[in-house]
Structure 1
């Protein structure tokens, strides 16, 4: 749960986004935060598909076959952002760099590899290779 949801349930955690220190909400964590925006820009560079909101994501779901790669990668991005954020909140890990998030997403894609076959498996392999190259490069934002 994001800290706004936790606080409504009486669980006190920091109200700040663990990535950028703005107020955390679901929308902020996954789309508005500078870290999320950076990851979605990486995805855009890879795929040509721009994702900047839940509406952008949801519009792809009914066209599952046409956007199977986009939907699979998007799920991995959301899960990677969520798990990395939870490491900060619940496991007291500290922010190191944008590469921490990219590496987490890459690991998710490796774990999910057995689920994919055919063209989708090839697309996921290309995405993992793209992330590997991103991990080798100096990153913008001082991250």
Structure 2
């Protein structure tokens, strides 16, 4: 199927040397376009959808529109739109035209009337959760961490961060191997199954007695029920610090040729982020975060010393 891309004259969202920003911005916009494609294919007989994404902060509002010829089946429409999405390259706006489908996205409104869907902090775009499982979409936007970390958590939960398997689905031709081991990199592997992530979660278990989450769904769902309701945002912030540290360590290896050779390096990042974000909380919670950070540091040092001996030069700078 032939596709054409028509981008309006504009600069990319962020500078080409800021790999971290490029990753979370393009991933977020790609999520918007994919959700718009799903809505057009499966929720309307006219195979047409308009969506507005407004996540607040410094991130601009983005408007998207998708259209297939109405005679296509839902599956054929979504397949056509998915094929068009491979042309998305992080621009601020543009038009992607397939043989029988169209995608448009802009930072200014491009259709008349109200959007058919709105994505943002108040959006519950997933199916209804089981009784007792927290409304995690709302909880993600309420935890006190920087906006870019909230965005990272949001599309980590949706499974669209740019791990190598997701890049391969967009016709990326590079190696699919994890930078910490020799297995294929997926979200499940990078954050839960890689030997490095397993070691980091083991330190969390030894320091807190919390069993590690099994996967992303568990981490954002029933795993949070292991603490009282008033502490769940704090637990989620801790998980955010851990996943964010693994992600930045991974990006450091891939983009900056940094050496990450021990769990202590990642735990150092985790506790550094916790201490940095503690200032956003009330004094009582700051003290709790400080105690947790010291405990994690101590357990990680004990584990590392027992296995390798201590060398402070193995600590890496925060990003």
For residues 56 and 38 of structure 1, the distance between their equivalents in structure 2, rounded to whole angstroms, comes to 18
**Which residue of 2 is the match for residue 120 of structure 1?**
285
Query: What residue ranges of structure 2 are gaps of 5+ in the alignment?
Result: 1-161, 310-319
Aligned length: 142
Query: What residue ranges of structure 1 are gaps of 5+ in the alignment?
Result: none
Deviations 1:76-104 (A, max 9, x none): 11111111111111222233322221111
Conservation of the 8 A alpha-carbon contact between 2:264 and 2:301: no
For residues 12 and 95 of structure 1, the distance between their equivalents in structure 2, rounded to whole angstroms, comes to 24
For residues 64 and 136 of structure 1, the distance between their equivalents in structure 2, rounded to whole angstroms, comes to 31
For residues 180 and 308 of structure 2, the distance between their equivalents in structure 1, rounded to whole angstroms, comes to 13
Question: 2:297 is paired with a residue of what secondary structure?
Answer: helix
**Which residue of 2 is the match for residue 79 of structure 1?**
244
Conservation of the 8 A alpha-carbon contact between 2:178 and 2:190: yes
Aligned runs of 1:82-121 on 2, under 5 Å? 82-121=247-286
1:108 shift after superposition:
1.2
Q: What TM-score, normalized to structure 2?
A: 0.40
Which structure is higher in strand share? Answer: 2
**Which residue of 2 is the match for residue 36 of structure 1?**
197
| Higher Cα radius of gyration | 2
For residues 191 and 198 of structure 2, the distance between their equivalents in structure 1, rounded to whole angstroms, comes to 8
Deviations 1:63-84 (A, max 9, x none): 7524233211111111111111
Q: 1:131 aligned to 286, 292, 296, which one?
A: 296
**Which residue of 2 is the match for residue 22 of structure 1?**
183
Question: 2:291 is paired with a residue of what secondary structure?
Answer: helix
Q: 1:101 to 1:52 in 2, by over 3 A?
A: same
Alignment RMSD (CA, Å): 2.4
